[in-house]
């Protein structure tokens, strides 16, 4: 295996070019920029000293790269990812893995059929590097917090202006981008939700389409979730609110943890709620509570940490921060929110992937954006996915 | 008109007796305790020096009182309230006004048909005296905050133990109490919601029955709301969580107000969101924001302030803090949450009162509590409705 890993990037829009520049500046140990690819020649000028390709197939076959990062519009993640895996190139996909569950399954099936068993298949889940969510997940998994009773994530600080949505013809269309705030901004939170709490069994969501902006896709969503253990959840997001909120609250048997700003604030029950509730002789009293401030430092290594981890996985077999096969879960959760809205009812997970795919076909058929234009407009205006970190 | 006002109290349980003692201690200017009434003779001993009655009709006709406070189990609010109005006695009803919309309509119809036009008809909306909610309502009504875009109330600090629910046979039964956390603990918040934000047009709620306790009624509810102007809301409550949360967040065109603990925290947009969203040339920027801490002092005069206001309304014609005719709104909102759950669909307001009443009849028919026992067990264990104030 070559060291450093020679990475090719497909799609030199905001996100792809941002990754390219970080690598060119030496910010990612043991990773070089081997080649770049964009269907728009103007974009290739952003990395003028790196071999450039108009076709991702040519780049994959060029011998210039060991690994590829796919940072194209969402629908293309599936086809390009499958081609990369088939070519035996280590593959890192930007979020979301794909637009819908069936496309995720296609990608994962390609990976499962790979001829090269050591192939690394990762997703850019950079917010998994945030020490607050890592700590919360650790606390949950260790049993320290006890069973989850209720979760509530208000993630409404994804504010975008009308100028944002009019900046690219593919943007915020069913045919071009495949969705709105759930598809572009929220894949991080949808992944973190499933990563920390698992997938719910039931989802009842209320997406609103073009509520605040002149777009055909959802720019607001409120979802109610029910988990297998009986816990409930609420997930609220929008791109139409300022200043917006990013506040995650988790009520567990051992109290309540709030993640908003720095660190974690845990109001800890000295006695588990379930025990106190059943054994207390007092109708009104509550368990003794302790205020526990759990410090965390910074927001994690984010994109560069995922890139470095990708290199470490390739070179040393290190465990991935974000295995791409996990990516189907957050996609399914977002799909469930959309389907619940379209079907005007509670949906149960797991979803029928073919049924979801059929719904997308209907949405695409009536989309104001024509799919064939996607490639040309593709990577010129990709969203800056570092937004949404805590301010 | 007699001054001081001579008040009779029906129901000397926790709440009724608490009011009685405040009046006996002279805490309510221009109000005396004229008589008390309870079907349980033991309860009457709590006010041994005050004329006592077993029958509310006898107390109403006794000539010893000018006004009455109804602090009985919920179903009796309707019949006793109607009798009081018919007797020309000023009437103050504990929350909720009645269990369901049709009963509220009966009470209000009795008031509208009153022979004595100066009759005062009030409800114990003590949390309307909380300066935080008054300030928020003033800010909304003055236009200072601009149009509402989203509201979120997590009111899960109504923790109750199993001992609480087993303390009275009528408690937390369809036949005895008429509901759970929405009927006993949340009438304050349901009223404040409609008082500050108006009633929504649509409600999709998910009540959970006996989720945390061995009871037949709801002890948890998550509700999604849609308002006429397109604003959305979420209301989350439970008696099964410790420490629980009491956090109200309102996103408006001028930013975001959070009520949690002392005062109001307003993150103010220097430019309205709607204007910035449409005119900004920048896709990602947000309006300039200012942090505005709006101080408030204390939690208001609560029950005693409502009692005093009731006396002032009787003696001086002062405007009521909580006109009882408003009480139907919070009841309808709570009814909508229950009906949405039972019907497993989104319900539109206004509700069909007869349809709701029919649903209650079905619930009562299968209730584990037998209605005829209600009177005897009635007032011995009434909930302490001062709970739920900010800690």
Contacts of A256 in chain B (CB under 8 A): 241, 243-245
- Top residue of A161, A171, A387 to mutate, by most chain B CBs within 10 Å, is A161
Look up tokens 């899960």; give the residue: B156
- Top residue of B283, B385, B391 to mutate, by most chain A CBs within 10 Å, is B283
Q: Which residues contact A8 (CB under 8 A, 6 or more apart)?
A: A34, A35, A36, A37, A53, A59, A60, A62, A64, A65, A67, A68, A69, A89
Q: How confident is the model at residue A1 (pLDDT cuts 50, 70, 90)?
A: low
Measured between alpha carbons, how far is B95 from B302 in angstroms, rounded to an integer? 13
Task: Name the token pair of A386.
Answer: 């570092």
Q: Which residues contact B46 (CB under 8 A, 6 or more apart)?
A: B12, B17, B20, B36
* Nearest CA among A267, A193, A263, A277 for reference residue A231: A193
Instruction: For strands A232-238 and A246-252, give the pairing.
Output: unpaired
Cis, peptide link before residue A301, omega less than 30° from 0: no
Measured between alpha carbons, how far is A253 from A223 in angstroms, rounded to an integer? 23
Distance from CA of A18 to the nearest CA of B (A): 16
Asked whether the beta carbons of residue B277 and residue A241 sit closer than 8 angstroms, the reply is no
Are residues A131 and A264 in contact, defined by beta-carbon separation less than 8 angstroms? no
Report CA A104 to chain centroid distance, whole Å: 13
Among candidates A165, A243, A273 on the partner chain, residue whose Cβ is nearest the Cβ of B256: A243
Contacts of A224 in chain B (CB under 8 A): 204, 206, 222, 224
Measure the N-to-C terminal CA separation of chain A; round to a whole number of Å.
40
Length of chain B: 391
Segment (H or E) for A21: helix A14-24
Among candidates B242, B249, B267 on the partner chain, residue whose Cβ is nearest the Cβ of A286: B242
Measured between alpha carbons, how far is A279 from A277 in angstroms, rounded to an integer? 6
Task: Name the token pair of B119.
Answer: 């009759």
Distance from CA of A317 to the nearest CA of B (A): 38
What's the confidence (pLDDT) of residue B370? 65
Asked whether the beta carbons of residue B282 and residue A161 sit closer than 8 angstroms, the reply is yes
Asked whether the beta carbons of residue A236 and residue B150 sit closer than 8 angstroms, the reply is yes
Cα angle for residues A190, B246, A288 (degrees, 5° grid): 100
Measured between alpha carbons, how far is B164 from B171 in angstroms, rounded to an integer? 9
Measured between alpha carbons, how far is B140 from B125 in angstroms, rounded to an integer? 20
Using the Cα atoms of residue B266, residue B267, residue B271 and residue B276 in order, give the sign of their dihedral. negative
Distance from CA of A369 to the nearest CA of B (A): 20
pLDDT tens, chain B, 391 aa long: 668 999 999 999 989 999 999 999 999 999 999 999 999 999 999 999 999 999 999 999 999 999 999 999 999 999 999 999 999 999 999 999 999 999 999 999 999 999 999 999 999 999 999 999 999 999 999 999 999 999 999 999 999 999 999 988 889 999 999 999 999 999 999 999 999 999 999 999 999 999 999 999 999 999 999 999 999 999 999 999 999 999 999 999 999 999 999 999 999 999 999 999 999 999 999 999 999 999 999 999 999 999 999 999 999 999 999 999 999 999 999 999 999 999 999 999 999 999 999 999 999 999 987 644 433 333 333 333 333 333 3
* Nearest CA among A260, A243, A245, A250 for reference residue A296: A260
Among candidates B213, B236, B387 on the partner chain, residue whose Cβ is nearest the Cβ of A152: B236
Among candidates A156, A224, A230 on the partner chain, residue whose Cβ is nearest the Cβ of B251: A156
Measured between alpha carbons, how far is B384 from B108 in angstroms, rounded to an integer? 26
Measured between alpha carbons, how far is A386 from B49 in angstroms, rounded to an integer? 71
Asked whether the beta carbons of residue B289 and residue A167 sit closer than 8 angstroms, the reply is no
Distance from CA of B198 to the nearest CA of A (A): 20
What's the confidence (pLDDT) of residue A330? 98
What's the confidence (pLDDT) of residue A370? 65
Contacts of B222 in chain A (CB under 8 A): 224, 232, 234
Report CA B330 to chain centroid distance, whole Å: 7
Measured between alpha carbons, how far is A77 from A374 in angstroms, rounded to an integer? 13
Looking from the CA of A5 toward its CB, the CA atoms found within 13 Å total 27
Task: Name the token pair of B298.
Answer: 């204390």
Look up tokens 């607001």; give the residue: A220
- Top residue of B148, B160, B242, B291 to mutate, by most chain A CBs within 10 Å, is B242
Cβ contacts from A onto B, under 8 A: 160
Which chain A residue lies closest to B281 (C-alpha atoms)?
A: A163
Could you write out the DSSP letters of every residue in B53-95? ES-HHHHHHSSS-SEEEE-S-HHHHHHHHHHHHHTT-EEEEPS
Are residues B88 and B115 in contact, defined by beta-carbon separation less than 8 angstroms? yes
Q: How many CB atoms lie within 10 A of CB A55?
A: 12
Among candidates A165, A243, A267 on the partner chain, residue whose Cβ is nearest the Cβ of B255: A243
Asked whether the beta carbons of residue B204 and residue A208 sit closer than 8 angstroms, the reply is no
Measured between alpha carbons, how far is B285 from B322 in angstroms, rounded to an integer? 43
Digit-coded pLDDT (tens) for A13-45: 989 999 999 999 999 999 999 999 999 999 999
What's the confidence (pLDDT) of residue B168? 80
């Amino acid at each position: 295996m070559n060291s450093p890993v020679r990475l090719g990037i497909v799609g030199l829009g905001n996100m792809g070019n941002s990754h390219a520049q970080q690598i060119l500046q030496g910010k990612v140990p043991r990773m070089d920029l081997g080649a770049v690819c964009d269907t728009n020649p103007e974009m290739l000028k952003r990395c003028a000293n790196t071999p450039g390709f108009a076709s991702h197939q040519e780049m994959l076959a060029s011998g210039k790269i060991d690994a590829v990062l796919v940072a194209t519009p969402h629908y293309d993640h599936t086809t390009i990812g499958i081609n990369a895996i088939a070519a035996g190139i280590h593959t890192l996909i930007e979020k979301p893995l794909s637009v819908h569950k069936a496309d995720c399954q296609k990608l994962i099936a390609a990976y499962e059929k790979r001829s090269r068993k050591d192939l690394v298949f990762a997703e850019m889940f950079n917010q998994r590097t945030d020490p607050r969510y890592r700590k919360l997940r650790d606390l949950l998994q260790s049993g320290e917090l006890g069973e989850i009773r209720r979760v509530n994530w208000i993630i409404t600080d994804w504010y975008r202006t009308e100028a944002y949505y009019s900046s690219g013809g593919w943007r915020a269309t069913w045919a071009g981008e495949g969705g709105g705030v759930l598809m572009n901004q929220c894949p991080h939170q949808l992944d973190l939700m499933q990563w920390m709490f698992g997938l719910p069994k039931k989802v009842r969501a209320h997406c609103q389409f073009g509520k605040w902006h002149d777009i055909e896709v959802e720019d607001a969503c409120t979802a109610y979730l029910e988990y297998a253990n009986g816990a409930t959840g609420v997930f609220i997001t929008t791109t139409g609110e300022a200043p917006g909120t990013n506040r995650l609250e988790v009520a567990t048997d051992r109290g309540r943890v709030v993640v908003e700003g720095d660190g974690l604030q845990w109001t800890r029950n000295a006695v588990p709620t379930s025990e106190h509730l059943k054994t207390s002789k007092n109708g009104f009293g509550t368990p003794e509570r302790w205020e526990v401030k759990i410090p965390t430092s910074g927001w994690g290594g984010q994109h560069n940490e995922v890139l470095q981890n990708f290199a470490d996985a390739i070179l040393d077999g290190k465990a991935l921060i974000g295995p791409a096969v996990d990516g189907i879960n957050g996609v399914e959760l977002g799909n469930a929110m959309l389907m619940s809205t379209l079907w005007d009812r509670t949906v149960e997970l797991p979803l029928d992937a073919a049924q979801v795919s059929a719904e997308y076909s209907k949405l695409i058929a009536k989309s104001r954006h024509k799919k064939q234009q996607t490639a040309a407009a593709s990577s010129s205006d990709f969203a800056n996915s570092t937004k949404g970190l805590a301010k």
